[in-house]
Amino acid sequence: MKPINVGLLGLGTVGGGTLTVLRRNAEEITRRAGREIRVLRAAVRNLDKAKALAGDLPLTTRPFDVVDDPDIDIVVELIGGLEPARELVMRAIANGKHVVTANKHLVAKHGNEIFAAAQARGVMVAFEAAVAGGIPIIKALREGLTANRIEWLAGIINGTSNFILTEMRDKGAAFADVLKQAQDLGYAEADPTFDIEGIDAAHKLTILSAIAFGIPMQFDRAYTEGISKLTREDVQYAEELGYRIKLLGIARRAENGIELRVHPTLIPERRLIANVDGAMNAVLVLGDAVGPTLYYGAGAGAEPTASAVVADLVDVTRLHTADPHHRVPHLAFQPDQLADTPILPMDEVRTAYYLRLSAFDRPGVLADITRILADSNISIDAMVQKEPAEGEEQVNIILLTHVTVEKNVNAAIAKIEALDTVAGKVMRIRLEELAAK
């Protein structure tokens, strides 16, 4: 059979990794795909930078020439960002080409428009590499778990922030130094605030939630909080209480809608996912039939991500000639079967909490705090008072609550911060047991 022709947009970390893996494993990949997957040309901005890696592969600085090339069957978009990536992908689709992309920002923001266009044109848009690097989580959710009603999923889905948290905890390294390391290793986004502030994780969570629950992409409704305000003190207190702090993306089916949130989270250290370190990612999924399943692997980097890109290329190659109606739908559910289940506002989310506050060591302080919590319908699971440092008048008080509604906690925090005996702000970190029931 004649080869299938690929045009690469981008030869950076992921594009370079993709070319390397396609070349190194060419024989095995052809045996699996049923025909050769041949890269015809690649687009970059800086030709000199890409020359050594490209070898005899023709390069261009005009990506639209690639998507308009009549000889190309599949366009692989690995340049990142919204524009010109969106325009290139839409033009490739309009030209009748299949698309493979690792661009979670693009899929989370414009996925609805892109999938509708692809559906109408009868082409595939594959995006396995957009979530959790090399872990085949899209395939697992879309196909392997298709019998299940998904109750919730929770994932460490940003390698950079997990790498930073791990290095800070294990080596006491400074935030800025570890971020620089993550950038040098090719893990970080072009704008690393996307990694640190939870935005990249929210892009990925948006994609996972759409596939898990059969809803449209709704990135703008996701709650996003990053790791930049975490202190080493909180990481240490959490550990003393038997928890690890991870940046978690959580999508949960609740009574009145879907929770969609990314934030630092205390997880019991006995859970496997609490022990996922460095740039590794993991996604825990609870299905009603299968129970909990956990997917673990490298969440970023050249070849792990290339592994997912090439898997998509093989999938598209195999299904290239199939009747479009017999392909797996982009979002797992048939396009006319997507539900309009609302995303819950953060105020309505139910979870447990770690609260740390600094109080003057005077009689009645604890009574005031516990009264406020009780009045807000919040029950306390554990409370620890730290000895004051020498010469200090203030003590750190750490409280763990049972599950409650976020708006109650917000109200209680405001009242606690208004007490004369409490200094500064209350530190609040959400806590999830991640139990199967």
**Which does residue 195 touch among ligand NDP, ligand HSE, none (CB within 5 to 8 A, set by kind)?**
ligand HSE
Of the residues 4, 72, 102, 310, which one makes contact with ligand NDP according to CB under 6 A: 102
User: C-beta of 265: minimal distance to ligand HSE in Å?
Assistant: 17
Output DSSP code: residue 389: P
What secondary structure does DSSP assign to 323-359, as a single string? -GGGSPPTTSS-GGG---PPBPPGGG-EEEEEEEEEE
Q: Judged by CB, which is closer to ligand HSE: 200, or 406? A: 200
* 115 lies in the site for ligand HSE, by CB under 6 A: no
Of the residues 63, 249, 292, 299, which one makes contact with ligand HSE according to CB under 6 A: 299
* Per annotation, catalytic residue among 171, 204, 229, 246: 204
From CA 386, how far away is CA 380, in angstroms rounded? 17
Q: Which span (78-86, 250-258, 322-330, 413-421) binds ligand NDP, by CB under 6 A?
A: 78-86
From CA 399, how far away is CA 429, in angstroms rounded? 11
Total of chain residues touching ligand HSE, rule CB under 6 A = 11
User: C-beta of 266: minimal distance to ligand HSE in Å?
Assistant: 21
User: Active site includes 49?
Assistant: no
- How far is residue 204 CA from its own chain's centroid? 4
Q: Judged by CB, which is closer to ligand HSE: 165, or 397? A: 165
From CA 280, how far away is CA 274, in angstroms rounded? 12
Q: Which span (13-21, 227-235, 264-272, 284-292) binds ligand NDP, by CB under 6 A?
A: 13-21
Of the residues 7, 33, 76, 80, which one makes contact with ligand NDP according to CB under 6 A: 80
Q: Which are the contacts of 309, defined by CB distance < 8 A and separation ≥ 6?
A: 14, 17, 18, 76, 78, 100, 102, 128, 129
* 159 lies in the site for ligand HSE, by CB under 6 A: yes
Query: Six-digit token pair at 37?
Result: 């997957």
From CA 278, how far away is CA 227, in angstroms rounded? 15
Q: Judged by CB, which is closer to ligand NDP: 42, or 168? A: 42
**Are 19 and 11 spatial neighbours (Cβ–Cβ below 8 Å)?**
yes
* 12 lies in the site for ligand NDP, by CB under 6 A: yes
Considering only CA atoms, which of 61, 64, 84, 59 is closest in space to residue 75?
A: 64
Site for ligand NDP, rule CB under 6 A: 10-15, 43-46, 49, 63, 78-80, 84, 102-104, 129, 133, 186-187, 189-190, 300-301, 305
Residues labelled as active-site residues: 204
